[in-house]
Structure formats: C-alpha cells, structure tokens
A and B are shown apart, each in its own frame.
Chain A
Amino acid sequence: MTELPLIGEAIAVAAEPRLAGAKIGVVTFPGTLDDRDAARAVRLAGGTAVPLWHADTNLGDVDAVVIPGGFSYGDYLRAGAIARFAPLMSKIIDAANSDAKLPVLGICNGFQILTESHLLPGSMIKNDHLKFMCRDQVLRVENSNTAWTLDYEAGQEITVPLKNQDGQYIANEKVLDALEAEGRVVFRYVGFNPNGSRRDIAGISNAAGNVVGLMPHPEHAVEAGFGPQSLDGVGSSDTDGLGFFTSVLNKIVGGSK
C-alpha cells in the first residue's frame, strides 16, 4: 500500500527500497487510537505495515510488532489490564520470549500493556499531578543497542510528543537498580519529569533488548511539518521518532550496525 505524504515532498528521509520487505505488525484493540499513525510511521521509514486485530489468533509472518497507544478497553480496571489477555497478546508474549526474539515496541498504552503482560517490569500509575499532559518532550537515549534504538547514538537527545494520564513509571528499588545496572533504562526524561516517573524513566527494555516500552510517542514525530519543532533551536527536529522504525527495519533486513 502506498502512502502519499500529507504535504508536498515532505517525507523526511528517502526510504530505502531494501527495507520494504520487512513486515511490522501494528495491533489494534478496541479503544486503540494511534494504530494508523504507527502504521504510517512504519511506511515512512520504508517498511511494510501489517494491521493486526486483538482477536486474531496468529501473528502471520510479521517480523516485528508495534503495540500502539490509546485507551484499550477504555482503560477500565487498569490501563492495559484487559488488553493483556487478548488472544493475540499470548502469541506476542510467546514470540517475544522465544529464541527468535520477536522485536516488540509498546508505546504509551502499549507500554502499559507490556508491563501488565510481564514482558517488562514495573507498572504505570496516575501522573503525580493527576492531570492529563500533552507536550513536546525531550528524551535522552540511554541505550542504543536495543532492536528499536540501533539508529540512535547513546546519549543522544530527541524530542517527541508525550500525552498521557497514567504515565508515572514505578517499580521497587531493587527492580530499578537492576534496570540501571543492566542498561535497561532505554530513555530518560530530560529537563522536566512530566509525571513523577521514578528516576526520570521514560522507557525500558527486557533483558534481551527485543522488547521496548516507552510512554512518549515516537510515531508522532516522523514527518517534517508534523512533529514537534525544536524546543531549543538546536539538536532536535520534527522527525526524531523515525529512528525507532528504521532501527528495527534495518535489523530485520540485516543492515545497520
């Protein structure tokens, strides 16, 4: 499926044809909001987006999976709690834990689903200030060796939108110490902690680095003219989120670093 840019010639990068063979599944639950943006991000990065439905009982032949943001099941019970038991989730959990180490990215509500699934440790509770927050957020990439961050440099600062109400990442001190020691804190909030997350953590990975979850939204920062403008005039751009998708696509086709 070809995707026309919304404005002129404003595709941020010339997508490499060799990436088109990589298939990234994008899961839709009842109440998911950002599945179309996530699929668009996959296409703009050069890959092929495959829509997946929560009630599906197999993953088809996808090479990676994005669990996008939104309010699956209206956030009833706890954010992500009911989605976690959807038929497709058990397949994703098995594939993520298998020797094949299916790359899985959970964004916002997708991150909440991954913690509820125990693919990632800890949990999210309501923002410490109790308000829904929507802003352009600076993040520091702490680990550039995960399946989803290979195209970044460790220490690189990126700006992507953040929008959530239950975004306060918490875990006990022992888990937090282990995450730090094992380099599994993948993203940290820079300059401002928007929700009270422990140790400014914005995103983490599993031990193998194939499963990554974060609260901010890289899929909303993939196209010039439609992402966050540079907050400080240097170092950031509208397309800082594109690297998530090019990272995994390059890894799948066997390129990149």
Chain B
Amino acid sequence: MPRIVVDVMPKPEILDPQGKAIVGALPRLGFTSFSSVRQGKRFELTVDGEVTDAILAQAREAAETLLSNPVIEDVVNVEVVEA
C-alpha cells in the first residue's frame, strides 16, 4: 500500500536543543566530522488504494495544521512512497 511521507524540521532560526545535545555526544563516540545536528520528524501516512491529487492535498493540509506547528517548524517534504 502506498504511503505519504511527511518530513518536518525545526525552523532554521530556532535553536534545536535536542540537535545540540546530539552534536555534543557524537565526538564521544569518535564521530568528529559533524559540526551541527538538527533533529526533525518523519511521518508515514498509509493510504488504502491509490494516492489521488485530492488525497495528497489532504496530506499537505494535515502536515501544515496538525503534524507541524508553523511557529517553530517547517514542512520540508511531502512525497508518495510506493510500498
């Protein structure tokens, strides 16, 4: 069954405290090449049947209204993935 994947990231101008903690932990494991980490969210919306334009539009609307908070987050990607 096809899925619609929605990726949400904290806005670039907003400090991401979780990403900051992760970038602090990486060197402890020997991963010294990464100067910054930002942590986002991935949602997978399963669709029973074909993903029509209307269903994709619904997913975009859900992404903007519920899955993300536009004050602090951006929806950076909405795409269809065939199972």
Contacts and interface: CB of A to CB of B under 8 A. Distances in A.
B17 to A, nearest CB: 4
B71 A123 contact: yes
Nearest to A175: B71
Contacts of B21: 130
B69 interface: yes
Given A130-B18, A130-B21, A122 B69 contact: no
B17 A77 contact: no
Interface string B4-25: 0000001001110110010000
A170 B18 CA distance: 16
Interface residues of A, number: 20
Interface in B11-47: 13-15, 17-18, 21
B69 A81 contact: yes
Nearest to B21: A130
Nearest to B18: A126
A54 interface: no
A77 B15 CA distance: 18
B75 interface: no
A78 interface: yes
Contacts of B14: 125, 170
Interface in A150-196: 168, 170-172
B83 interface: no
Contact of A77 (B13, B67, B71): B67
A257 B71 CA distance: 36
B71 A122 contact: yes
Contacts of A226: none
Interface string A117-151: 00001110111111000000000000000000000
A78 B10 CA distance: 12
Contacts of A128: 15, 17
B17 A127 contact: yes
16 contacts: A77-B67, A78-B69, A81-B66, A81-B69, A82-B66, A122-B71, A123-B71, A123-B72, A125-B17, A126-B17, A128-B17, A129-B17, A130-B17, A168-B17, A170-B14, A170-B72
